[in-house]
Structure 1
Amino acid sequence: MDKLLWMHCFVRAVETGSFSVVAREMQIGQPNVSRHIASLEKSLGTRLLHRSTRHMVATPEGQRYYAQARHALDIISQAESDAHGEQDPHGLLRVACPESVGSELIIAALPGFLERYPHVDVDLRLGDEYIDLVAEGVDIAIRGGTLKDSALRARRVGTSERICVASDAYLQKHGLPRQPEDLLRHQCIIYTLLAGGSGTWPFKNGPVPVSGRTRLNNLDGIRRAVLQGLGVGYLPSWMIARELRTGELRALLTDHATAPSPLNVLYSADRLLPQRAGVFIEFITKVFADTPGLNGTSLV
């Protein structure tokens, strides 16, 4: 039992690069983390980590041991889950997802999931920023776009339609853009986490650079800014379904829109996917399948 605890401390220390983070995760003091890893090194007869006041890095022996220990811990976790039975997954599931998806869709559906799987707890981390799944100890992340990180695997759970929109008040004052290039003369609300905040929007015949006086790192903030008449926004259509129906917002340049982009669940390619994660993926796939704008059904 002690060696499993030592192994867990070491694995998370490598993944997070911080004894203090491991201590918080495991709810033990930082000196205990250091002591457990020292005990593991003593039992193995080799140094696993190089430590300094600023840095911590695995030795070559530590790197080899980490890969095998990570795999061993995953197998133990899976064995425990299997022992409970396929219909009764257990444990804490850590999920990262965009704030808009989490706030508007997942939280609304979460009571049904928790009722169906009473022994699964969910740690939902909302934010649009990229995170390192391994370092943050996250099981799965929901993200849009094409997978570029070979250390991750992706499972498609939907497709996201994005469109340009503006309020009538803004259009009455600034006119209606009829071609993507017309946006060069408009106030566009920049999403700073899209393509590095470069201010380039994709269209069927190629990207168009846009600019504006308002920049935000949150999609719901952009939706609210568009409603206030601050400019043209580029948003997932499911987020503004109500506003499109009521006429509060108007879809623009729909003939020039690109095809919907994939919405994926991402997880580490080097780790076994916990059973609790598998049932959650199935659950949210059904949620997205019932959401126009995420299920292949266009809202424009």
Structure 2
Amino acid sequence: MDRLLWMHCYARAVETGSFSAVARELSIGQPNVSRHIASLESHLGTRLLHRSTRKLTVTPEGERYYAEVRRALDAIAEAESNARGEDQPQGLLRVACPVALARFKLMPLVKQFLVAYPAIELDLHVADRKVDLIEEGVDVAIRVGELRDSSLRARRLGTARRICVASSTYLSRRGVPQSPEELRDHNCIRYSLLATGTIWPFERQPVEVRGNFRVDSPEAVLAAVLDGIGIGLMPSWLFADSLAAGTVRQLLDNWEIPSLPVNALYPAKRLMPRRAAAFMDFVADAFAVDEALQ
């Protein structure tokens, strides 16, 4: 009874979504993969996967078990690597990142990272929701904003400087606000995931804004600003190209808005894989020379 093999088959089935892919990877044949996972389920006395002809679906029990199995397999791989004296980080690295930050700042680094660390398999989850690192088996989550979860540790990667912008077409139609207070008379695009809600947090004069468009995506805020719908408040790097092209204009630049930290988060009570540390070092070094993240 090789439970370690069962666990490995199960973890890779969850990660690839396919028994066939696991069979090719381990060179053991698809019927053997199915049999190993069935043996694991029988040993545990619970269903881990729902199987159909088209896809695998992980059960809630399977999700929790996967997170534990992944940690165990990572610890074993790390121990074996250390015993062999291997210096290169390797293995599966699961990273979560917000959509806009991934598109504008992280994706341009992915090729360089994979070239530098060819033995790492990067599994990037791009979503604006806050993933549960423990439950979902994520090694590193990059987030913009203050850390509120005491079960996580944070490493500062950079800073998101926020600015207020609008398109020339909107400003020609509605005028240019001269103070935060005047934003009350403008159509402001409300980002529904903003920690301060409808309050735009200018340091000297926070103001509650109004508008007829609310959205939970920074990229949608950018699109709405470019379309002349209203005024937006977002990190400066989101508008860098539009500012350079002159299609949008920065407003109220004499009124400071608190910047937000950009952190790499990882579980406090889990062994940090070498590949996760390598990833954070790589991104921190790249962000340190990016003026938009200072």
C-alpha distance after superposition, 1:83-110 (max 9, x if no partner): 4656411111111111112112222221
Over 3 Å counting, the alpha-carbon distance change for 1:235 and 1:67 in structure 2 is: closer
The corresponding residue for 1:253 is: 252
Over 3 Å counting, the alpha-carbon distance change for 1:134 and 1:34 in structure 2 is: farther
| Rounded Cα–Cα distance in structure 1 between residues aligned with 2:190 and 2:151 | 30
| Rounded Cα–Cα distance in structure 2 between residues aligned with 1:25 and 1:139 | 22
Does the alignment pair 1:275 with 2:274? yes
| Rounded Cα–Cα distance in structure 1 between residues aligned with 2:263 and 2:282 | 14
Give TM-score, length-normalised by structure 2: 0.79
Q: For the Cα contact (< 8 Å) 1:6–1:39, is it kept in 2? A: no
Paired AA for residue 107 in structure 2: I
| Rounded Cα–Cα distance in structure 2 between residues aligned with 1:254 and 1:276 | 41
Paired AA for residue 130 in structure 1: K
Over 3 Å counting, the alpha-carbon distance change for 1:84 and 1:157 in structure 2 is: farther
RMSD after superposition: 3.3
Paired AA for residue 144 in structure 1: V
The corresponding residue for 2:52 is: none
Give TM-score, length-normalised by structure 1: 0.77
| Rounded Cα–Cα distance in structure 2 between residues aligned with 1:236 and 1:273 | 30
The corresponding residue for 2:4 is: 4
The corresponding residue for 2:163 is: 163
Q: How does 1:95-106 map to 2 (within 5 A)?
A: 95-106=95-106
- Could you tell which deviates more after superposition, 97-106 or 27-36? 27-36
| Rounded Cα–Cα distance in structure 1 between residues aligned with 2:79 and 2:203 | 48
Flag structure 1 segments of 5+ consecutive residues without an equivalent. Answer: 13-19, 42-46, 50-54
Over 3 Å counting, the alpha-carbon distance change for 1:155 and 1:188 in structure 2 is: same
SS at match of 2:254: helix
Paired AA for residue 118 in structure 2: P
The corresponding residue for 2:195 is: 195
Paired AA for residue 140 in structure 1: V
- Aligned-pair identity (%): 44
Over 3 Å counting, the alpha-carbon distance change for 1:33 and 1:23 in structure 2 is: farther
The corresponding residue for 1:52 is: none
Deviation at 1:37, TM superposition (A): 4.5
C-alpha distance after superposition, 1:96-155 (max 9, x if no partner): 111112112222221111111111111111111111112222110100111101111111
The corresponding residue for 1:115 is: 115
Deviation at 1:247, TM superposition (A): 2.1
Deviation at 1:38, TM superposition (A): 4.0
Paired AA for residue 131 in structure 2: I
SS at match of 1:222: helix
Flag structure 2 segments of 5+ consecutive residues without an equivalent. Answer: 23-29, 49-58
| Rounded Cα–Cα distance in structure 1 between residues aligned with 2:291 and 2:16 | 43
